[in-house]
Chain A
Amino acid sequence: SQTIHQWPATLVQPVGSPLSLECTVEGTSNPNLYWYRQAAGRGLQLLFYSVGIGQISSEVPQNLSASRPQDRQFILSSKKLLLSDSGFYLCAWSVGRAYGYTFGSGTRLTVV
């Protein structure tokens, strides 16, 4: 069966520090991968999506970046965090329109 792993679960980082969040998927090949952010009490904001290794599309201009070094690995990074980067970061995968997205358990990031 397919599973998605996302870590860490919680993270407190100072302003200006770097960030690296990792997401891996098991049990499927060539998934579409997505990074979302959800601010407190708000909806889901799509940050990046990837349809293959090295293929990244950005939906929102910001100080975040994403990479997909392997088929089932998706990484979200920042060189210098801002207070506004705080939120709940969710990784998701899909393999086709019939299945929707499956979300990881999320990382709650607090920038202080």
Chain B
Amino acid sequence: QKEVEQNSGPLSVPEGAIASLNCTYSDRVSQSFFWYRQYSGKSPELIMSIYSNGDKEDGRFTAQLNKASQYVSLLIRDSQPSDSATYLCAVTDNAGNMLTFGGGTRLMVKP
């Protein structure tokens, strides 16, 4: 069974700090990796995608992928209270039709 694991949190960081969110996955043939942000009561919103090993930066967000270790992470620099949300890691199968979601990590950024 394909699994995507995340620490449920809450992860609490002070405003301006770097928040580091981690995710591990079990399926070695996974090809595409995504991070979603979900505010309370709202639907998930895609914020980052990454397909190859290394880092991908977009504004304050950096996604990191290590396929050998089956590990993907999301760094949020200069964290803001508005970043407080649940962050979901998602991984596709080799065919790309199905996403498997982790249970999410709740991030709290304190002013």
- Residue numbers of A with Cβ under 8 A of B are 32, 42-44, 46, 49, 51, 90, 94, 96-106, 108
Contact = CB atoms under 8 A, between A and B. Distances in A.
B98 A49 contact: yes
Which 5 pairs of residues, A with B, have the shortest CB-CB distance? A97-B96, A43-B103, A103-B43, A100-B34, A106-B43
Nearest to B98: A49
Given A90-B44, A98-B49, A101-B99, 19 more contacts: A42-B103, A43-B103, A43-B104, A44-B88, A49-B97, A94-B97, A96-B96, A97-B31, A97-B92, A97-B95, A98-B51, A98-B96, A99-B49, A100-B32, A100-B92, A100-B99, A101-B46, A103-B44, A106-B43
Interface of B: 31-32, 34, 36, 41-46, 49, 51, 88, 90, 92, 95-99, 101-104
Given A43-B101, A100-B49, A106 B42 contact: yes
Main secondary structure of the interface of B (DSSP, over half): loop
Nearest to B104: A43
A97 B43 contact: no
Contacts of B98: 46, 49
A61 B48 CA distance: 32
Contacts of A97: 31-32, 92, 95-97
Contacts of B31: 97
Given A97-B92, A100-B46, A101-B46, A43 B102 contact: yes
